[in-house]
Amino acid sequence: MLTLSLALAGALALGAETHSNSNPVFEQLVEKGVSPGGENLVPLPVPTMADGLDAAAQRKVIETLGGARFPYSQLTRRSTVAPHILRMRNIDGPDPQTPLQAVDLFFVAYGEMDALTNKNFLSDAFKENRGQDEAEGVSLTPEELAERSIEIATAAKDYEGYGQATFELLNRVELSVVGRSFWSRTEDSIVTAAIVDPRFSDDAKYPNVWRTLKRNAAGALVKGAPLPYRGAGLYMKMTKLHEPQGAVFVEAHIVFAEPHGWFDGKNLLGAKLPAVANQKVREMRQEMLRAQAARK
């Protein structure tokens, strides 16, 4: 799958490494952050479920997260339609014309968590669900990266990737960006992370840009002039639970810039996200179960 998030396959153990010292994209997101422009950075939240917790501590995290609305017994129910938690929030940025939006998603699934290491959450969260499986995109070749003085270290070639994706947002905006992705694994968990790479801001072939889409008299979508796009990043952490047996705690965190020109300040994406999240959580749970069955 050619995606922003990962163009990587398999899962190789990283021993006793932590995600912060083995995954530079994850480290960038939680320690520095993303920016809609300039030097101002907005970090993503650190993982809710840390590595190294015992069963009681893991349960406490889930109980605190769910509160009275989502009891532990329901969140950990062995079902593809068990509840999930979706939180959306606005973030004040340095430019009032380019506010930042944040999305946090939490759920428990059962099965093979390696099956989730190639999901394109940024694309799926953005685009309207119109029966498309994924955004149009390509993986950048080593030659294309070398032309831009970017080199993937030999030790990271199975973990790091660069992909360009173009997709429509609600038939109002076309977004084209290059993402740098990286995944890492510890004894307890897997993290996949991706960020819009600012080195492609003014790239001749793969610039990070957005355009308005408007219909002409014939009803066809007409693209506006390209405008620079900066500031989007996400990561997903999948942590094995001690209890219930076979359970995995999944959390995804996204922060992205939403220029005022996209929807004239209206929260149109926010209205679509709950339905998209519901569908994707169910699909991810099903995929994990299929992957587990295939390994037996």
- Six-digit token string for 60: 């406490």
Q: Is residue 4 part of a domain?
A: no
In angstroms, the CA 275 to CA 281 distance is 10
Weakly modelled stretches of the chain, pLDDT under 70 = 1-17, 38-39, 93-94, 117-136
In angstroms, the CA 283 to CA 107 distance is 12
Closest CA to 14 of 193, 185, 188, 159: 185
- Domain count along the chain: 1
Closest CA to 27 of 195, 167, 166: 195
- Six-digit token string for 229: 């796009």
The pLDDT, as a whole number, for residue 25 is 95
The reported pTM is 0.87
Enter the DSSP assignment of 133. Answer: S
The pLDDT, as a whole number, for residue 28 is 94
Q: Is residue 96 part of a domain?
A: yes
Four-residue CA torsion sign, 224, 164, 121, 99: negative
Q: Is residue 12 part of a domain?
A: no
Q: Is residue 225 part of a domain?
A: yes
User: Which domain range does residue 91 map to?
Assistant: 19-295
Q: Is residue 14 part of a domain?
A: no
The pLDDT, as a whole number, for residue 270 is 84
Residue 258: CATH number of its domain: 3.30.530
Enter the DSSP assignment of 138. Answer: E
In angstroms, the CA 170 to CA 187 distance is 40
Q: Which amino acid makes up residue 118?
A: N
Please give the helix or strand (H or E) that residue 189 lies within, else none.
strand 189-196
